[in-house]
């Protein structure tokens, strides 16, 4: 899906000023003495039919953003509009009705499946809860779901431990499809798989997206994977968005020093091509007490006095490309 086409349509998901702070309690009364600022005032949109990927180092707030949207953790502040509904204002009962439209594929395909249930029962669970189907119709739908993800219908009688990691992730995808969702949040959905299996699962996700007009929020630290599946890419650092744009803009014309450092770490398969490796100094600061000004200034090669004092806002860098840096090219 082109970004131009996306920009002319209403977003399926609109996140505004989202914050997710986790209290650190201390003292005899266990009162909050500080907060882990896992996600700190971020805003972005996801359009129907596209794949927006969130990338960054571990601890940057990628998965927490996904969990906040799903309301697995109630956000501290902000708004999440999905298909015109304010998810943060919904009661638990009303939120449950919306969950069929937002599904998730988890990182660990074994831990996310109930080991005591057969695959058929796992897939039937969503059909029982969300759809009024007869037992016969449910069995037919389970067989159909398994075939859609490249598995045999007879596998419905087996248990999760009888499958490989790639097959278990296919079952996880089938479970997400069972609810007929509009948005699927893929939280490191292929990071636990072998490289060859990763490619198979990514191709399956792209195929299903085309067939069912699915929208993906794809969370990953693997830039090679992100390059393969994304329409747009959002780069996060220490709870903040530092850059967002189309796949081409991010990978071919990065503006933020952090994005450039991430891209320089991608292995170059052609030995004849020389690639400059950008080594960042120091460690990622603590989200409990993030640096003043630009949060990346403690590791940035372009750091100035202004960077230590002024927190840059996301500004247009041409087209649909936005970057939060005082000295972006």
Tokens of 77: 């502040």
Whether residue 198 has pLDDT greater than 80: yes
Query: Is residue 273's pLDDT more than 80?
Result: no
247: tokens are 């796949």
pLDDT, tens digit, 9 for 90 and up, residues 154-191? 999 999 999 999 999 999 999 999 999 999 999 998 88
Angle between helices 135-148 and 119-130 (to 10 degrees): 120
Q: Is the pLDDT of residue 329 over 70?
A: no
**Could you give the C-alpha distances from 120 to 130, 147, 155, 271, in angstroms and in order?**
16, 13, 8, 48
What are the residues whose beta carbons fall under 8 Å from the beta carbon of 288, sequence distance 6 or more? 24, 34, 35, 36, 37
Contacts with 29 (C-beta within 8 Å, 6 or more apart), sequence order: none
pLDDT one-digit tens code per residue, 213-242: 999 999 999 898 999 999 999 999 999 999
- Element spanning 253, H or E: none
At 279 the pLDDT is 79
Domain ranges of the chain: 3-267+276-323
3-state secondary structure of 22: strand
Nearest to 178 by CA among 100, 248, 117: 100
Give the 3-state secondary structure of residue 45.
strand
- What pLDDT is attached to residue 5? 43
Q: Considering the entire predicted model, what is its pTM? A: 0.90
State residue 4's pLDDT score: 43
Does the pLDDT value for residue 270 go beyond 70? no
What's the mean pLDDT when you consider all of the chain?
A: 90
Percentages (nearest 5) of helix, strand, coil residues in the chain:
35, 20, 40
pLDDT digits (tens, 9 = 90+) for 28-67: 888 989 999 999 999 999 999 999 999 999 889 999 999 9
pLDDT digits (tens, 9 = 90+) for 308-319: 999 999 999 888
Q: What whole-number distance in Å separates Cα of residue 77 and Cα of residue 288?
A: 17
Three-state SS for 314? Answer: coil
Let me know if 266 is exposed, middle or buried by CB neighbors in 10 A (0-12, 13-18, 19+). middle
pLDDT of residue 272: 67
At 235, is the secondary structure helix, strand, or coil? strand
pLDDT band at 2 (very low <50, low <70, confident <90, very high): very low
Contact in structure between 37 and 68 (CB atoms under 8 Å): no
CA dihedral 85, 88, 234, 294 (to 10 degrees): 140
- Give pLDDT, residue 269: 67
For domain 3-267+276-323, give the CATH number: 3.40.50.300
**Which of residues 47 and 135 earns the better pLDDT score?**
47
């Amino acid at each position: 899906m082109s970004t131009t086409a996306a920009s002319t349509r209403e977003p399926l998901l609109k996140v505004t000023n989202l914050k997710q702070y986790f209290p650190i309690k201390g003292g005899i009364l266990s009162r909050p003495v500080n907060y882990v600022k896992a996600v700190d005032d971020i805003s972005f949109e996801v359009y129907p039919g596209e794949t927006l990927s969130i990338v960054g180092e571990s601890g940057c707030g990628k998965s927490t953003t996904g969990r906040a949207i799903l309301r697995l953790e109630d956000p501290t502040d902000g708004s999440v509009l999905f298909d015109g509904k304010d998810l943060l204002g919904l009661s638990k009962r009303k939120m449950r009705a919306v969950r069929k439209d937002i599904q998730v594929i988890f990182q660990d395909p074994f831990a996310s499946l109930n080991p005591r249930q057969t695959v058929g029962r796992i897939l039937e669970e969503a059909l029982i809860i969300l759809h009024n189907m007869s037992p016969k119709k449910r069995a037919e739908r389970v067989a159909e779901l398994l075939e859609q993800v490249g598995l045999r219908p007879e596998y419905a009688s087996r248990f999760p431990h009888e499958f490989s990691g790639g097959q278990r992730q296919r079952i996880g995808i089938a479970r997400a499809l069972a609810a007929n969702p509009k948005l699927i949040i893929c939280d490191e959905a292929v990071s636990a798989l072998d490289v060859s299996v990763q490619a198979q699962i990514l191709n399956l996700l792209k195929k299903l997206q085309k067939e069912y007009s699915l929208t993906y929020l794809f969370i990953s630290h693997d830039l090679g994977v992100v390059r393969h599946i994304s329409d747009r890419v959002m780069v996060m650092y220490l709870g903040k968005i530092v850059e967002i744009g189309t796949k081409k803009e991010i990978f071919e014309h990065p503006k933020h020093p952090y994005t450039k450092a991430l891209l320089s770490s991608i292995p170059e398969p052609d030995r004849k091509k020389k690639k400059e490796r950008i080594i960042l100094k120091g460690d990622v600061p603590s989200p409990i007490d993030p640096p003043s000004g630009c949060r990346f200034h403690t590791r940035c090669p372009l750091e100035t006095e202004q960077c230590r004092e002024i927190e840059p806002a996301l500004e247009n860098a041409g087209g649909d490309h936005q970057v939060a840096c005082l000295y972006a090219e």
